[in-house]
Amino acid sequence: SAVISQKPSRDICQRGTSLTIQCQVDSQVTMMFWYRQQPGQSLTLIATANQGSEATYESGFVIDKFPISRPNLTFSTLTVSNMSPEDSSIYLCSVAQARTDTQYFGPGTRLTVL
Amino acid sequence: QKEVEQNSGPLSVPEGAIASLNCTYSDRGSQSFFWYRQYSGKSPELIMSIYSNGDKEDGRFTAQLNKASQYVSLLIRDSQPSDSATYLCAVNTNTGNQFYFGTGTSLTVIP
């Protein structure tokens, strides 16, 4: 499976600011996804990062709040904009070679918003 | 009805026992099924995938799939304290071509 890294691994941010999370894969992958995992909860898909086009967002998530970039097949970023304490969560990227294929997860970014 | 349902637990078993984790799903057309393990503070890691009815074994782990009953389970034989984690069931559904996760079952193996 691919080796996936995320930066930063954790951060503490002030309300109203924005944070950009990076996801880097050591090989080209077709699919990249961004998930949120709130404390004690399961994974919620935020969006699918599409290379060269706009991300596909799930219900309840919008581009203005969670802009995503995917400039190539090995890299993606997720920005959490205008943060509030409710955005405190673990953010995970995952990769797969097809939408129906096994997903592998990065180590996650633990975000705390004060 | 949720797409994927798991008993949240917690499930406690003594060391050396068999742990049985269960998962049901709603989309009868689902084709791919996965079990992930997540240690506290870590990201999910894949344990097993299963695509056909029946059992699939990998070391101490056995995944069981019954598409007629829309049921998938994970058995952990000779449970070890290091197996203590949350186990997530994931199903890839045909409808909407979506990957859904259950809420996870917390397992504690007591030495």
State how far residue A43 is from chain B, nearest Cα, in angstroms: 6
> pLDDT confidence of B64, banded at 50, 70, 90?
very high
CA B13 to chain centre: 16
Residues 69-108 of A with CB under 8 A from B: 90, 92, 99-108
Contact A107 B92 (CB under 8 A): no
- What does the pLDDT average to over B18-41? 93
* Residue-level pLDDT at B104: 93
* Residue-level pLDDT at B74: 97
Which range has the worst mean pLDDT, A18-22, A49-53, A76-80, B69-73?
A: A49-53
> pLDDT confidence of B95, banded at 50, 70, 90?
low
- What does the pLDDT average to over A64-86? 96
Sheet strands (E) in chain B: 4-6, 11-14, 19-25, 32-38, 45-50, 54-58, 61-66, 71-76, 85-92, 99-101, 105-110
Tell how strand A56-57 and strand A75-80 pair up. Answer: unpaired
- What does the pLDDT average to over A99-113? 90
State how far residue B72 is from chain A, nearest Cα, in angstroms: 16
Classify B96 as helix, strand or coil.
helix
Q: By C-alpha distance, which of B83, B88, B87 is closest to B109?
A: B83
* Residue-level pLDDT at B97: 59
> pLDDT confidence of B96, banded at 50, 70, 90?
low
Comparing A101 with B87, the larger pLDDT belongs to B87
* Residue-level pLDDT at B92: 87
Contact A100 B97 (CB under 8 A): yes
- A59 in contact with chain B, both atoms CB, cutoff 8 A: no
- What does the pLDDT average to over B65-93? 95
Could you tell me if B47 and B104 are in contact, meaning their C-beta atoms sit under 8 angstroms apart? no
Whether B94 shows a pLDDT value over 70: the answer reads no
> pLDDT confidence of A99, banded at 50, 70, 90?
low
Mean pLDDT of chain B: 92
State how far residue A39 is from chain B, nearest Cα, in angstroms: 10
